[in-house]
Structure 1
């Protein structure tokens, strides 16, 4: 598709990869987009040996401590051992899997395995917080546990790429002064600063269209429904239920969009973003 048939809608300002599901990740200057998403993204996860479920901080009363950990690749290229950093500063490599699993199991008070391949039929659980107005697919949820099956062979909840604009974050800050809508709460892969003058939930209008970024192409498939994780404390960010409340009050629970890869390639901070 030629540049003439696309419109410039912004440029990339941040790139992120999350090597282990539900842990903090890495901020990068360039990423390789592969058919399964950002290279090395959600390459690993923890599995509860007692239930066989994949661990997710979406059930924070059980797995919230995972959210305080961060993960990175030792070599920085999305391959090789993954290094997990604990809140006390200790780091343990996945190359020493037994030591890592013992450390994680002690922290979580559950017997967990470190996995780099998703078990067939793998499921996660989600705790819907005690908050009114949380609606998905026409059903209202409140203070209950639901489960879902992960895509075959993957640790993603659904789509392999998550894109977010600075306009959405700025819009939320204006709607709910006093809450910190830091991008880390939303765990995007690509953050885009829209073209001058674009305001509001800009990316809503991109659903069903394609983004051309650097060498990569991605199909925008659906809005990104937010969950309890955006309310959890992490680093200097406090617990804040108003973050999730704002998403449901003002945008149907959505912040950002999910994408599927239509063409592999490298994406860099500063790259122009074109919409087809």
Structure 2
């Protein structure tokens, strides 16, 4: 395998999101196992009224999660509001206007509600858009896979096509941002079914392109709303992630871990 490897870039950034749908923390290095980056999506908020996992994929109810920051502590997680004040479950319930509980235990058949992103764009994030339930992988708070990758080549291409002439990686909530060394955009599309080696030991299988919901269009902390973060890939990179799913705007790729390892900023990324 080593003789056929092609260096495609280096690790530009690593992100962990300790609480699902909250802002995360950038890391200089991290351990990656079959469950992704250590501590990623370890927690989530449960809506006590419905039993569902809170997700900003339903912006009407949960877009304010993206104003909150979750950071890992020695014994769990710390959640802070826009002003930096720490928030407990009661404060979160008051802020979100929903009865919520912070948990590290995914309920059986855990699910989230997902609004149609095109409807959100048409009607606005606060509109009462139709939602459908999406079941999460058993025993996790992940939407699909434990690891999500995105290249700077794709970000540069989206920025080039956007009226804003920029787009922020944070909108797409990647775990790894790969600083790509070649030309062209949406290069991850060509990695599907192939393997990546990152650093000395981490080995990944790239599985499917990542279909995007309304989340990239929403305000993220100090970042303003940006509908073009979804409209650009809808126009220029519609793909069918899974058979029968139909074309969806895609940015980045999902991956599963074949061999665990530690990864750090600057590590070489090899494509096999």
Q: How far apart, CA to CA, are the structure 1 residues paired with 2:48 and 2:100?
A: 5
Aligned 8 A contact 1:179 1:243 in 2: no
| Runs of 4 or more consecutive aligned structure 1 residues displaced over 4 Å after TM superposition | 130-134
Aligned 8 A contact 2:198 2:269 in 1: yes
Deviations 1:125-167 (A, max 9, x none): 0111455999xxxxxxxx5311110000000001110000000
Q: 1:65 to 1:132 in 2, by over 3 A?
A: closer
Q: How far apart, CA to CA, are the structure 1 residues paired with 2:225 and 2:98?
A: 24
Aligned 8 A contact 1:35 1:262 in 2: yes
Q: Which residue of 2 aligns with 1:18?
A: 17
Q: 1:120 to 1:47 in 2, by over 3 A?
A: same
Alignment pair present for 1:209 and 2:209 = no
Aligned 8 A contact 2:160 2:166 in 1: no
Q: How far apart, CA to CA, are the structure 2 residues paired with 1:84 and 1:4?
A: 46
The worse-fitting range, judged by mean Cα deviation, of 37-46 and 56-65 is 56-65
Deviations 1:217-261 (A, max 9, x none): 111000011110000012332112121111111101000000011
Q: Across the two proteins, how many residue pairs are aligned to each other?
A: 256
Q: Which residue of 2 aligns with 1:147?
A: 133
SS at match of 2:15: strand
The 5 A counterparts of 1:161-172 are: 161-172=147-158
Q: How far apart, CA to CA, are the structure 2 residues paired with 1:172 and 1:73?
A: 31
Alignment pair present for 1:272 and 2:268 = yes
Q: How far apart, CA to CA, are the structure 1 residues paired with 2:120 and 2:54?
A: 26
Q: 1:259 to 1:66 in 2, by over 3 A?
A: same
Q: Among 219, 233, 237, which residue is 1:233 paired with?
A: 219
Alignment pair present for 1:219 and 2:205 = yes
SS at match of 1:168: helix
SS at match of 1:91: coil
Structure 2 residue runs of 5 or longer lacking an equivalent are 123-128, 239-248
Q: Which residue of 1 aligns with 2:171?
A: 185
Alignment pair present for 1:123 and 2:108 = no
Deviations 1:98-145 (A, max 9, x none): xx11111111111111110100101100111455999xxxxxxxx531
For residue 4 of structure 1, report the CA deviation from its aligned partner.
Answer: 1.3
Aligned 8 A contact 2:66 2:221 in 1: no
Aligned 8 A contact 2:121 2:227 in 1: no
Q: How far apart, CA to CA, are the structure 2 residues paired with 1:256 and 1:12?
A: 14
TM-score normalised by length of structure 2? 0.90
Q: Which residue of 1 aligns with 2:230?
A: 244
Structure 1 residue runs of 5 or longer lacking an equivalent are 93-99, 135-142
